[in-house]
Each structure stands twice: as C-alpha cells, then as structure tokens.
Amino acid sequence: MKQFISVYDVPNINALVEKALAYKANPFADRQLGADKRIGLLFLNPSLRTRLSTQVAARNLGMEAIVFNVDKEGWALEFEEGAIMSGNTVEHIKDAAPILGQYFDILCIRTFPSLKNREEDYSEMFIHQFIKYAGVPVVSLESATLHPLQSLTDIITIQEHYRTQHTKRKPKIVLTWAPHVKPLPQCVANSFSQWINAWGEADFVITHPQDYELAEQFTKGAAITHDQDAALKDADYVYVKNWSTYNDYGKIYENDPAWMLTEEKLKASNNAKVMHCLPVRRNVELSDEILDSAHSLVTQQAGNRVWAAQTVLAELLQSGK
Amino acid sequence: MKQFISVYDVPNINALVEKALAYKANPFADRQLGADKRIGLLFLNPSLRTRLSTQVAARNLGMEAIVFNVDKEGWALEFEEGAIMSGNTVEHIKDAAPILGQYFDILCIRTFPSLKNREEDYSEMFIHQFIKYAGVPVVSLESATLHPLQSLTDIITIQEHYRTQHTKRKPKIVLTWAPHVKPLPQCVANSFSQWINAWGEADFVITHPQDYELAEQFTKGAAITHDQDAALKDADYVYVKNWSTYNDYGKIYENDPAWMLTEEKLKASNNAKVMHCLPVRRNVELSDEILDSAHSLVTQQAGNRVWAAQTVLAELLQSGK
Amino acid sequence: MKQFISVYDVPNINALVEKALAYKANPFADRQLGADKRIGLLFLNPSLRTRLSTQVAARNLGMEAIVFNVDKEGWALEFEEGAIMSGNTVEHIKDAAPILGQYFDILCIRTFPSLKNREEDYSEMFIHQFIKYAGVPVVSLESATLHPLQSLTDIITIQEHYRTQHTKRKPKIVLTWAPHVKPLPQCVANSFSQWINAWGEADFVITHPQDYELAEQFTKGAAITHDQDAALKDADYVYVKNWSTYNDYGKIYENDPAWMLTEEKLKASNNAKVMHCLPVRRNVELSDEILDSAHSLVTQQAGNRVWAAQTVLAELLQSGK
C-alpha cells in the first residue's frame, strides 16, 4: 500500500480487517515498526476522534506523531496551479507539501469540501495536489468526498460483531439518511457506499428522501430506495448519516423529522445494530432511545478507529521497507 | 484513589505531600510506572501552568500525554440529558466521553463555570457527566467550583516552606480577597478553603469585603472576617485571590483598591509569605513590591504544580493495578 | 553557547555549519544527548516550518518538545515593567517566564514586531524580558527584528551547495527586495545581512527600491544599491525577500511589480540559485517559473531548518553540561 485515499488503494479489505482485530487484541505487537519514524497530522478542519485515534495508533507503533492545525496555527494554503497570490492565501501547497515531506515519513491530512462548487470538491484537488507534491505516503483523514479510515473502521466493526452471530448468511446493511440542522458533506455516505460495494459481502441498501441521491460512482451496486421502512426490513446493520444534496449541490431540500430512526422503525429489522460515525446530533439525527440502547454500536465503532488507523500506518511502514 | 475531583477523593493529604516532595527530589523515580499508558488532557478553557505542568508530570512517569483543546480544535459539547441537539452543540458528552475513555487510561478535564447560573455551576454537571460516561479515572484540571490540583500544590508549598522554620506551632494561613478587573470564578478560593479545612493543621482565616461570602460548604471551619488588617495579624502565609460574589452570583459588588495587599499591610504579619495561583494582575491584585520581594512564593508555588500532578497521576496508576 | 538570539551568540559560524551537515548525514547521532530534557516552544505568532522543524530537531536529540500557542491556548502577556494590569493583558512575563524555566530545560519563543513603534520593536523588549526572567537558555524562533535560525539555515544551504561547485572564489550573494501585498517585518532581511556580514566569506550586495533601507547595524559591510540589475550581475545566490520600510517605519512606499525576480533578470547572474525563507507569495514575490525551476533552493533550504535547529539545541545542551 502506497497511500490511503480511497478503497482503491486497498488490495484486500478482509486482510486489513484481520490485521486490525489482531492489533485490538495486542496493541503493542508492532511497537518497534515505527521507531525513528514520524507522522505529521495536518488539519484544515477540526477533528476529535480522527485526530486522537491516529495519534494513539501511531504511538502504538512507536512513531512520533505531530499535529498541526493548519487553519488555526498556520495560515491559509493556496491549491490552484498558477495562482497570483495577492489575496488571502499565504503559502502554496507546492511549497508547503514537499517541505512537510522532508520533515515526516508519512503525512495525514484532513480537508473538507466547500459544498459550494461541486466540480471543485469532487475533483479532490486539495488532497491530490498534496499527494503530488508531498513525496511521502499520504493518508486521508477525510477529504472533500471520502472518509476511508471511517469506512475501514465500519467494516471492522461490522465483521467483529457479525462473527459473533455464527451465521453464513450475508448481512443486510442499510445506509439511511437522517435529518440534520445544517448542510453536511457527502463524504461518510460516499465512502461507506464505496467500501461496502467493494467489499461485496453484504446485501446493501441505501435509503434517503427524494433529491438526496448520492453520486453513482460510489453507490453503484447498492439497491436504492426512498422507502425507509422497506429498506429497514430484516436489516442487520443500519448506518445512520445525514448528507446534503449532491445534484443541486450542498443544499437541504427537505428535512423531515420522520426520517429520524426510532425503536419503532427498528422492529421490522433483524434486531439491527445501529452505527454512526459521530459526532451525532442526539434527538435530531438519532434518538436517545436508540443511542442509549443495546442496538447502538457507536462507541465500539469509534473505539475501532484506533485499530483501523494503526493497520493503515503499519501497512504503509511495511510497504516502505 | 479512583479519581481526583476534590479533597474528598484523597485518603491522606500529608501522604500526598510527602510523595510530591519525594518526586521533586527525584523526578524520574517512577519513570516506568506509566509505560504504555496514555493520558488525555481536555481543555474547554485556556490554561498555561495546568496544561504544561500536567504534561511534564505525565512524561516524568513515562506516560504519553495528548492535549486536546475542545473549544478550539473541536466543537461545542452538550451536557444536558435528553437535549434535542438542534442548536450550537455538536456532540453530547455521553458520546464523546466513553470514546475518550477507550483512547486513554486517564482523562483530565478543565471546565469553567458560566458565572450566570449558580445552581448549574455548583451542581458541577459538566465534570460529573464526564465522569459518569468516561469509564476511566478522571482528574479535574479545574472545574466549575474547585481546583484541587492547585490546592494540593498550595499545601505542598506551605509545608515545604514551613518545615524550614523549625517550629511546632500551627501556621496561621490567611486567604484574602483582592481586587480585579472582571468577575472571576470562586474555584481557587473554594478549593483552598476546602483543602486547608480538611488538612486541619493550620489556623485558617478568610477575609473579604462584605457581600463576597463564599459557599459555607467549603469555608466551614475557618474564621471569617471583613477586617483585612485583623486577619493579617501574625499571619505566616497570605493567599491572595480575587473572586466574584457567590450569593448574588457572579457579580463585582465593590472593588476597593485598598484591598490590594501591600508591604505596609504585611508589617503586622509574621513576616508572611505571599501566595497566588497565577495568573496575577500586577498592581491590581498584588503590587510589584510584594511580587518582586522575598515575601513571594508564587514562582516556587507554580513550579510545585508539576509534583502535585505527578503525585496524583502516580496514585491513579497505582490504584489501577 | 548560552542562548541563541543573534549571530553574536555564535562563536564560530562554520563550526555550526559542519555540525549541521553532520546531523543531516546522521540525524540520530546524538539521540541520547537530550534524554530527560524538555524543550518548550512558545508561539506568540503563527509558524509552520519553525515549529515543525524545531520539534523534529528536538526529537532527533531525544528531547521531549512541548508546543504552547500563547496567543491561542493561553492569554495576552504583559511585557512592560511596572504596568498596572487593568487592561487586556492577563499575565506578566515576569511571572510566566520563571515558571516556564522551571518546567523546561530550554525555552524557545517566537514574537513578531508591531510594525507600529520602531523604537519598541528594535529594543527587542519581548525577548529580552523573557531571557531576563526565564533562567534557562532561550532560543529565538524569530523575534521583532531577527530570525537567527533562518539565517543559520541559509548559510548551511549556501555552503552545502557551494562546495559542490569546487571553486575557491568567494560566492557573490545578493539580497533583493521583492514586492508583497502587505507590510512585513524586516527580521529575515536584517538577520540574513547580519549573518552574511559576520560570516565574511562572501561578496555581499543588498538591493532594494529607494526608501527601503534597512538598519545600518545589520547591513554594514554590504554593498547597497537601488539598481537590481547591477546587483544581480554574476550573482551565485539570490535571496529574495520583501520587507516594509525601516525609516518611515512599517510602511509600503512603492510596490513596483518590476522588482519581482524573473528568469530574464537571472540571465546576468552566474546561473544563480534562488533562496527564500518561505512562505512565499507566488507570482507576487517570486514567479512560478523560478520557483519550479532548477534555480530554486527553497525546498532544500526549508528542509535544512531541522539541522540548524538540531545544531543549536545540541550546542545548548552541551554547554549546559
């Protein structure tokens, strides 16, 4: 593995899952792997779980992790080729990235979409420019359209739980849209769709209100319906997430509270486990009654972020040898 | 010791003091105690001494310390049970705390009071909610009403100095209110009162202008007077601190500059040493003439923050074994 | 070496350069030198290269490095002696510095000039007050008028490159003013001038438009001209930097885009290498055509920040033994 930007960087999802669960059982198994190696974590947007879990993961491998909040501790970066920098951007990624590549062995970066210009966001210019100039392996800590460490975590969590069920039947996994108070990126939903489709070991259904269609490049392979009740029927895992519109980009068209998942709705499921990437707006996206019940996997899921990150960093370190 | 929120978590104050002074003499005596352990320091409010001294203390014990400025690097947390999170708060403490508890072996948290709603502040909801959901030992880095690491430091500093005086007489300790430019929490004064009373090895007097009475739950056992001169008579230690009103909550009623401690006033004392938790507004709370004189213990006191924190962390690590 | 504030702290520039290049060849040669030592990095102003390179340098020596963004994580510091602190400053440097000196073995600090009051800026009050009260060795991470770690880096980079040219002729080094969009400090230009003059092994020319004269205390020894073309003739190294006016302090008098360095202008040089401390405003200060060409040393230069910092820290650690 040379970088970790999307599922296309992963030769074998199940091998990553096994490695992650092995690290969970024995966090310090590879404590020497990252000796004298340094990882830089660059945040252009805020983060709690992603930052802390990646720092913990790096330390478990013996790496030094240094965090840099570009937005708060640094200055605005320019990403456009040929820009005449007489405005607010202070440094071009062409200059910053290769220097960071000299200081660090692996670079991780988080950037969010503008939600204003779809073509620009979906070109993933920021992270691609960064990769182009960094000269060392790059890990996405969430980019404009994807969140691969989250999606790897999600599959780890599903597999970890599903093997306790002792069944050979494929699980039914449902991704359901949920209401929110402001327009959010499509990253987590895109990425989850991309990974579950690539994994191929589930019956995968996506449900959302009209007008919330995701980009087909990610959803292709899933069944898509506007009927949430039908989607939830016999579900084993329900992944709850809000996203703003993709077609008429970055909007909230309808925000019907009836789309919030409830215990009542879950009755049609196969006693489904409920997942969410967090942070979650309680009683807006998901009710207390579900989050505080045995249905919820969210804490276990967030805890697994460490093992996903540790696995990816270990793969990059091992590939580099 | 299972947590460190107030003096009630401490079985034996003097034992902590001895341990702290032993660490001061030999900082790396327990350098292996925290191996493979991680401590998370969460700040909902800014901090200089508390943050840095706790980081240093953790490293002296071989622990990895990770700082997270929730207010600046993260987002607003919700603490109310049952909240419908359609406002500004992005994540509930019920979701954030257990995840942090998975990432860290010990969690430290700083939260300030609103100074608007006394009942809410004095319920210490923030830190209690955090403890309830964290699942690992929690250390207060100052909460809405108390600052126990500061108070432990204060008793360490008093004992460290007083034993050089070779007297068996109990020291006279005075807590005196001082003027300030804005309304401050009562935390340091509450906590100092609680600890000196619980310690029980001093004659303890609190002096402040009318209307600045502190909560009796903390001051009970101390003599209280509005006559600063009478309080200072024969004092061995004078602890200077501003606080806003407790009864008519969070106000500045009177801010008479005459309450600022001077060399002249100290003449009635027993050549008293002067203490302050810092930061101090020079020439408002305390004059240059005192801070720059041999009366001042403030630098030594702030330095002792390391040994207080190291002692508390060591106790928690040892209890957990 | 007892501190690192300007070239006057350095007994032998060439010895530092050799040490830095040795570290570049073998980063972990002195990995035990800083064991159990701690370095505090205080930023009153933002930083990317300086912060990260110093953190990396400290870790290469086995030191723990702790970053503190005073402006964002702390509060406003007071630097005036005798100030009545009833305004916005929360803590006096007289109180903060000695405490930091108890927590850390070496303190590094970055402060910027106001660009409003020349006498105040050029008195370097902030860093001198800090040194006065810290009680441990202090390293400038850029102060109001100088940036010595940058200048040491610059001489390392020039020597590293020039020895590949196998000539005994002194190199011709040109410092040229460049346009910018806002008034910048004179630090980098002052410091570069001071170091090149003190080093004494180059023909040194400074060129800038009328009214941009630098302080003579730094430039004395260099040839100074308003004729950029004449300056560039036969140059081996061209150091590009904007600065605001020194005489009528902190202003932009003229901002002629014709002063931007181009390939065309470089034709008169001795195939000169181009340097810049970064961040650089592309196509304002320096054109893409130069930055992306073989003329540019800027990435190598920024990478060398690590070895400059590591050398200075090692010298301070070794002096302290």
C162-184 pLDDT, tens digit per residue, is: 999 999 999 999 999 999 999 99
Average pLDDT, chain A: 96
Q: How many helices and strands (H and E) does chain A possess?
A: 14, 11
The pLDDT value given to residue B204: 98
Is residue A62 one of the residues assigned to a domain? yes
The pLDDT value given to residue C75: 81
Average pLDDT, chain C: 96
The pLDDT value given to residue A310: 98
- Whether cis (ω within 30° of 0) applies to the bond prior to A113 is no
Among residues B269, B272, B270, the alpha carbon closest in space to that of B237 is found at B272
Among residues A249, A277, A16, A299, the alpha carbon closest in space to that of A146 is found at A277
Residue A235 shares a structural domain with residue A219: yes
The pLDDT value given to residue C76: 87
Distance (Å) of CA A171 to CA A209, A225, A265, A272: 24, 18, 18, 10
Q: State the residue for tokens 């970088």.
A: A3
Residue B266 shares a structural domain with residue B296: yes
- Residue-wise pLDDT for A27-70, tens only, equals 999 999 999 999 999 998 888 999 999 999 999 999 999 999 88
Distance from CA of C55 to the nearest CA of A (A): 8
Calpha distance C247→B49 (Å, rounded): 40
Is residue A1 one of the residues assigned to a domain? no
Among residues A161, A162, A141, the alpha carbon closest in space to that of A151 is found at A141
What is the token pair recorded at A48?
A: 């709690």
Distance from CA of A63 to the nearest CA of C (A): 11
Contacts of A297 (CB under 8 A, 6+ apart): A157, A161, A237, A273, A274, A275
DSSP-assigned beta bridge partners for residue A222 = A220
Backbone angles phi, psi at B271, to 5 degrees: 50, 50
Best C282, C283, C286, C293 residue to mutate vs chain A (most A CBs within 10 Å): C282
Calpha distance B251→B182 (Å, rounded): 9
The pLDDT value given to residue B46: 83
Instruction: State the pairing for strand pair B138-140/B106-110.
Output: parallel
The pLDDT value given to residue C261: 95
Residue A129 shares a structural domain with residue A218: no
Calpha distance C174→C167 (Å, rounded): 18
Is residue C45 one of the residues assigned to a domain? yes
Is residue B2 one of the residues assigned to a domain? no
Mean pLDDT of A296-312: 98
Query: By the CB < 8 Å criterion, does B96 face chain A?
Result: yes
A vs B: CB pairs below 8 A = 79
Residue C39 shares a structural domain with residue C109: yes
The pLDDT value given to residue B47: 87
The pLDDT value given to residue B71: 75
Instruction: State the pairing for strand pair B77-78/A237-241.
Output: unpaired
- Whether cis (ω within 30° of 0) applies to the bond prior to C279 is yes
* Cβ–Cβ gap A306/B102 under 8 Å: yes
Distance (Å) of CA A302 to CA A5, A309, B103, B130: 20, 12, 10, 17
Return the amino acid letter for A116.
K
Find the CB nearest A280 among B64, B87, B95: B95
Instruction: Give the residue with greater pLDDT, B75 vs A227.
Output: A227
CA B167 to chain CA centroid, nearest Å: 27
The pLDDT value given to residue B28: 97
Q: What is the DSSP letter of C67?
A: E
Instruction: State the pairing for strand pair A172-177/A91-92.
Output: unpaired
What ipTM was assigned to the predicted interfaces of this complex?
0.94
Residue A130 shares a structural domain with residue A158: no
Query: By the CB < 8 Å criterion, does B103 face chain A?
Result: yes
H or E element in which residue A289 lies: helix A288-291
Calpha distance C4→C12 (Å, rounded): 13
Q: State the residue for tokens 């690097």.
A: B73
- Residue-wise pLDDT for C260-286, tens only, equals 999 999 999 999 999 999 999 999 999
Among residues A150, A157, A185, the alpha carbon closest in space to that of A173 is found at A157
- For residue C300, pLDDT beyond 90: yes
**HSE on the CB side for B37, CA within 13 Å?**
24
CATH of the domain at A263: 3.40.50.1370
3-state secondary structure chain B: CCCECCHHHCCCHHHHHHHHHHHHHCCCCCCCCCCCCEEEEEECCCCCHHHHHHHHHHHHCCCEEEEEEHHHHCCCEECCCCCCCCCCCCEEHHHHHHHHHHHCCEEEEECCCCCCCHHHHHHCHHHHHHHHHHCCCEEECCCCCCCHHHHHHHHHHHHHHHHHHCCCCCCEEEEEECCCCCCCCCHHHHHHHHHHHHHCCCEEEEECCCCCCCCHHHHCCCEEECCHHHHHCCCCEEEEECCCCCCCCCCCCCCCHHHCECHHHHCCCCCCEEECCCCCCECCCECHHHHCCCCECHHHHHHCHHHHHHHHHHHHHHHCC
Q: State the residue for tokens 């008429």.
A: A248
C-beta separation of A211 from A148 below 8 A: no
C-beta separation of B34 from B315 below 8 A: no
Residue B112 shares a structural domain with residue B235: no
Query: By the CB < 8 Å criterion, does A35 face chain C?
Result: no
C-beta separation of A183 from A251 below 8 A: yes
In this complex, the chains that touch B, judged by 3 or more CB pairs closer than 8 A, are A, C
Residue A224 shares a structural domain with residue A79: no
What is the token pair recorded at A211?
A: 């007008």
Is residue A121 one of the residues assigned to a domain? yes
Residues of B in contact with A291 (CB under 8 A): 94-95
Residue B135 shares a structural domain with residue B70: yes
Calpha distance B180→B259 (Å, rounded): 10
Return the amino acid letter for B104.
F
The pLDDT value given to residue C74: 79
> Mapping DSSP to helix (H, G, I), strand (E, B) and coil, where does residue A272 land?
coil
Nearest chain C residue to A70 by CA distance is C48
Q: Taking CA B239 as the corner, what is the angle to CA B238 and CA B244, rounded to the nearest 5 degrees?
A: 135
Q: State the residue for tokens 């000039």.
A: C113
Calpha distance A250→B140 (Å, rounded): 41
**HSE on the CB side for C147, CA within 13 Å?**
22
- Whether cis (ω within 30° of 0) applies to the bond prior to B279 is yes
> Mapping DSSP to helix (H, G, I), strand (E, B) and coil, where does residue A302 land?
helix
* Cβ–Cβ gap C291/A72 under 8 Å: no
Q: What is the DSSP letter of C100?
A: H
Is residue C276 one of the residues assigned to a domain? yes
- Residue-wise pLDDT for C188-232, tens only, equals 999 999 999 999 999 999 999 999 999 999 999 999 999 999 999
Is residue B1 one of the residues assigned to a domain? no
- Give A321's pLDDT tier (boundaries 50, 70, 90): low
C-beta separation of B273 from B237 below 8 A: yes
Q: How many domains does chain B have?
A: 2
Calpha distance C311→C15 (Å, rounded): 10
Residue A312 shares a structural domain with residue A265: no
Q: Is the dihedral of CA C99, C100, C102, C107 positive or negative?
A: negative
- Residue-wise pLDDT for A168-186, tens only, equals 999 999 999 999 999 999 9
* Cβ–Cβ gap B95/A278 under 8 Å: yes
Domain that holds residue B13: 7-146+305-319
Backbone angles phi, psi at A155, to 5 degrees: -70, -35
Residue A152 shares a structural domain with residue A287: yes
Among residues A224, A229, A241, A225, the alpha carbon closest in space to that of A180 is found at A241
- Sheet of strand B64-69: strand arrangement: B64-69, B38-43, B106-110, B138-140
Is residue C2 one of the residues assigned to a domain? no
With pLDDT > 90 as the criterion, what percentage of chain C qualifies? 94
- In A63-82, the residues whose Cβ lies within 8 Å of chain C are 64, 66, 68, 70, 72-75, 78, 82
- For residue A72, pLDDT beyond 80: no
Residue B229 shares a structural domain with residue B140: no
Q: At what angle do helices A13-25 and A187-199 cross, to 10 degrees?
A: 110
The pLDDT value given to residue B305: 98
Q: At what angle do helices A148-162 and A187-199 cross, to 10 degrees?
A: 50
Is B278 flagged in the annotation as binding? Answer: yes
Alpha helices in chain C (DSSP H): 13-25, 49-60, 70-73, 93-103, 118-123, 125-134, 148-162, 187-199, 216-219, 228-232, 263-266, 288-291, 298-303, 305-319
- Residue-wise pLDDT for A241-264, tens only, equals 999 999 999 999 989 999 999 999
H or E element in which residue A172 lies: strand A172-177
Q: What is the DSSP letter of C10?
A: -
- In A250-279, the residues whose Cβ lies within 8 Å of chain B are 278-279
The pLDDT value given to residue C321: 58
Residue B50 shares a structural domain with residue B140: yes
What is the token pair recorded at C172?
A: 């011709």
Calpha distance C291→C282 (Å, rounded): 8
Find the CB nearest A85 among C59, C282, C292: C282
10-residue block means of pLDDT along chain B (321 residues)? 97 98 98 96 90 97 94 84 93 95 97 94 95 97 98 98 95 98 96 98 98 98 98 98 97 93 96 97 95 97 98 95 58
Q: 10 Å Cβ neighbour count for B191?
A: 26
Calpha distance B266→B255 (Å, rounded): 20
C-beta separation of C150 from C277 below 8 A: yes
